[in-house]
Structure 1
Amino acid sequence: MGRTEYYYDPVAPKANTLVPASNLLVVDDHGAVLLQRRRDTGQWALPGGAQDIGESAAQCAVRECVEETGILAEVTGFLGVYSNPDHIVAYTDGEIRQQLEAAYIGKPVGGEPTVNDEADGIEWVHPGELDRYDIHPSMRQQISDYLTGDYPHLG
């Protein structure tokens, strides 16, 4: 399913859904951040996605991480809640979603980087190299909040 992201865009369509999602900002022992390149947008992002009924937000973050990157991680902290009404994602099926993400911090405990139907690239990126990557502003904010220690983010 294709998607178009709108970020502080005055022509963004009006949201018609609000779906809880979780992200996992995984940091290895060398301080590198795990990023995936999304097949649907081509941008680099933290692993994450919609929460399923029957799982907690933290369980969702761990599941999405292993599904999207091949890396099994455990949650070590809470980064924050990101619920920006000016971040809209429009899907080709007519769903227009307002951002609502619980973001967690984690560390890798197993697995190997693996591309899949959602991500065509998986990389460990050191903070000094982040500017070389096309990262959506909402993901950049989450990474920046972690790197500057400005968390938990509650909005």
Structure 2
Amino acid sequence: MGRIEYYNDPKAPKANTLIPASDMLVVNDEGEILLQRRRDTGQWALPGGAQDIGETAAQCAVRECEEETGIVAEVTGFLGVYTNPHHIVAYTDGEIRQQYETTYIGRPISGEPTINDEADGVRFVRPDDLDDYDIHPSMRQQIGDYLAGTYPYLG
């Protein structure tokens, strides 16, 4: 399913759904951050996705991280709640979603970065190298909040 992201764009379509989702900001012992390059947008992002019925938001973040990157991570902290009504994602099936993400901080405990049907690139990136990557502004905000120590973010 394809998608188009709108960020602070007055031409964005009106949202018709609000789905709880969770992200995982995984930091290894060297201080590098786990990123995946999404096949649907080509941009680098934290692993994450929609929460399933029967799981907690933290369990969702752990599951999505493993599914999208091959890395099993352990939650070590809470980064924040990101609910920007001006971040709209339009899917080809007609769903138009307003952003709603809880983001957890974690550390890798097993696995290797692995590409899959959702990500065509997976790697740990040094904070000094982040500007070399096309990262969506919403993900940059989350990473920036972590690096600046300005969390939990409740916006």
One-letter amino acid matched to 2:122: I
Q: How many residues align?
A: 155
Structure 2 unaligned segments of length 5 or more: list them.
none
Q: Secondary structure at the match of 1:29?
A: coil
* Deviation sequence 1:90-120 (CA, Å, 0-9, x none): 0000000000000000000000111000000
One-letter amino acid matched to 2:90: A
Mapped to 2, the partners of 1:78 and 1:38 lie a distance apart of 23
* Deviation sequence 1:64-106 (CA, Å, 0-9, x none): 0000000000000000000000000000000000000000000
Q: Secondary structure at the match of 1:129?
A: helix
2:132 corresponds to which residue? Answer: 132
2:31 corresponds to which residue? Answer: 31
1:41 corresponds to which residue? Answer: 41
Q: Normalized against structure 1, the TM-score is what?
A: 1.00
Mapped to 1, the partners of 2:97 and 2:85 lie a distance apart of 9
RMSD value over aligned CA atoms?
Answer: 0.2
One-letter amino acid matched to 1:154: L
Q: Secondary structure at the match of 1:150?
A: coil
Mapped to 2, the partners of 1:18 and 1:154 lie a distance apart of 17
Mapped to 2, the partners of 1:125 and 1:112 lie a distance apart of 14
Structure 1 runs of 4+ aligned residues shifted over 3 Å read: none
Q: Normalized against structure 2, the TM-score is what?
A: 1.00
1:88 aligns with 2:84: no
* Deviation sequence 1:24-49 (CA, Å, 0-9, x none): 00000000000000000000000000
Q: Secondary structure at the match of 1:23?
A: strand
1:115 corresponds to which residue? Answer: 115
One-letter amino acid matched to 2:133: Y
Structure 1 unaligned segments of length 5 or more: list them.
none
Mapped to 1, the partners of 2:5 and 2:29 lie a distance apart of 32
Mapped to 2, the partners of 1:142 and 1:6 lie a distance apart of 17
Give the Å deviation of 1:139: 0.1
One-letter amino acid matched to 1:127: P
Q: Secondary structure at the match of 2:105?
A: strand
2:98 corresponds to which residue? Answer: 98
Mapped to 1, the partners of 2:113 and 2:36 lie a distance apart of 9
Question: Once the two structures are aligned, what percentage of the paired residues are identical?
Answer: 79
Mapped to 1, the partners of 2:44 and 2:25 lie a distance apart of 13
Mapped to 2, the partners of 1:139 and 1:145 lie a distance apart of 10
